[in-house]
Amino acid sequence: MAYFRDLSPYQYGHWDVVRGAQNVGWLALGHTFQTGQALQSDLDLLWAHCKVAIHATRGLHSCEFCSDWSSEGFRVMRNGETIVLGYSEIRVIGPSGQSYAAPSLIYHYIDKHSYKPPDVFVAALRTGPRPPSEAYFEALKTRELEWGSTVR
């Protein structure tokens, strides 16, 4: 998977430029990242975002920090729900409209590899519109983003 520095401008692919979005969580081997313990409440919020698949056409990528890998994608469970990570992005949108583009694997990176995302990302997660609220999907529409579901 491509590596992008946290908070660098999001501009991935020729057909997709989202004005103002910043990259978060595009980790790769050979690039160090900050670690810390995430709150379960933040993981719950992130999980809700990870159920919404944005740009789901980029093929599968696995976690470079794990050895287990299936061609069917990266199945993850939380509270009895199963979603598939590794083939789509998520968008976290802050209260004043700033947005953050992350690979769906960010949930796994935080949960299993103690990746600590930037504070502004966590703040947006906690205070911005969140799925499945109407405000959240309106914000995606405004950005001309299409979405699907990762829930299996």
Is residue 28 at the binding interface for Zn ion, with CB under 5 A as the rule? Answer: no
Rounded distance between C-alpha atoms, residue 25 and residue 21, angstroms = 13
Cβ nearer to Zn ion, comparing 39 with 66: 66
* Binding status of residue 66 toward Zn ion by CB under 5 A: yes
Q: Are 105 and 61 in contact (CB under 8 A)?
A: yes
Minimum Å gap between C-beta 15 and Zn ion is 29
Residue closer to Zn ion by CB (options 21, 102) is 102
- Radius of gyration for the chain, computed over Cα atoms and rounded to the nearest angstrom: 14
Please check whether residue 50 is in contact with residue 89, taking contact to mean a CB–CB distance below 8 angstroms.
no
**Span interacting with Zn ion, options 1-9, 66-74, 92-100, 115-123, rule CB under 5 A:** 66-74
Question: What's the CA angle centered on 98, arms 95 and 101, to 5 degrees?
Answer: 120
Task: Tell me which of 18, 50, 63, 125 binds Zn ion, using CB under 5 A.
Answer: 63
Rounded to a whole number of angstroms, the minimum distance from the CB of residue 105 to Zn ion is: 8
Nearest to 149 by CA among 75, 52, 49, 74: 52
HSE on the CB side for 18, CA within 13 Å? 28
Q: Does 76 bind Zn ion (CB under 5 A)?
A: no
Residue placing its CB nearer to Zn ion in the complex, 112 or 141 = 112
**What residue ranges bind Zn ion (CB under 5 A)?**
63, 65-66
